[in-house]
Amino acid sequence: MSRNGVTADEVMAVEAARRLRDGTVCFVGIGLPSIAANLARHTHAPECVLIYESGTIGAKPAELPLSIGDGELAETADAVVPVPELFAYWLQGRRMDVAFLGAAQIDRHGNLNSTVIGDYGAPRVRLPGAGGAPESALSARDVFVMLRHSQRAFVERLDFTSSVGENVRVVITDLGILEPRDGELTLVALHPGVAVEEPIAATGWPLKVADDLRETPPPTDAELTVLRGLRTKGQDDSRH
């Protein structure tokens, strides 16, 4: 899906990158979060610190990694620490400013499900599981969620709560931006060319819309140039 020649992934990556300040310490996974953090590092936030679950602190990959354990992350990192140390000293030690999370489902409180669709004991779809999400959601100062908007994903009730939403500051979707207002995720911005009815229709609960609903500024040519330069170095499909 593309509007004005800009894909949904590109809008999401740019919106996420813009929220990272220079020096922000980010706990990133593979895919869009990694793209966004590297975009920030190559534009306005050169000192943005990237930490991957594999223990690489301050990774500076020239090409986008395909997995959180890519060799280039270790080679370019300031330090590579054992995984138990990463979770104990660096995540639980509250050294992470921002953690990016994705999920299969989100509810209006920012709680996430990445565990099962259906009943835990007899699931319809067994998902990979929570991985680093539960403690990222608790110990990072700010949690940024990146997730495509759909009724399947934005649900009234999670099938399973893998991580809690108390630190979720923003949800970046392919249609717009949600932020918690009075304890409930509220649509605060629409991406260029998106009508307000689209995210409302793609949300499984009655989505609140902010009075001051704004439009996200479109990706600039400079942002797109850097972003596409990054992307072409990796592969097309780099989900995690």
Please list, in sequence order, all residues whose beta carbon lies within 8 angstroms of the beta carbon of residue 38, skipping any fewer than 6 positions away. 50, 61, 64, 230
CB of 136 to other proteins, least distance (A): 8
Q: 182 is written with which tokens?
A: 């009075």
Q: Is 188 helix (H, G, I), strand (E, B) or coil?
A: strand
Q: Which is nearer to other proteins, 83 or 195 (CB)?
A: 83
Q: Pairing mode, if any, of strands 184-190 and 98-101?
A: unpaired
Token readout for 217 is 């500024």
CB of 29 to other proteins, least distance (A): 10
Catalytic residues: 53
Task: Decide the pairing of beta strands 6-7 and 2-3.
Answer: antiparallel
CA nearest to 12, candidates 151, 157, 191:
191
Q: Between residues 98 and 177, which has the closer beta carbon with respect to other proteins?
A: 98
**CB 87, min distance to other proteins, A:** 4
- The minimum distance between CB 40 and other proteins, in angstroms, equals 15
| Cα distances (angstroms) measured from residue 70 to each of 185, 232, 237 | 35, 17, 15
Under the rule (CB under 8 A), what is the footprint of other proteins? 23, 25, 30, 47, 49, 53-58, 66-71, 73-74, 78-80, 82-84, 86-89, 91-95, 111, 115, 120, 123-135, 138-139, 160-164, 166, 235, 237-240
Q: In this complex, which beta carbon is closest to other proteins, that of residue 225 or of residue 232?
A: 232
Cα separation of 26 and 213, whole Å?
A: 27
Measured from the CB atom, is 164 or 209 closer to other proteins? 164
The whole-angstrom separation of Cα 225 and Cα 45 is: 16
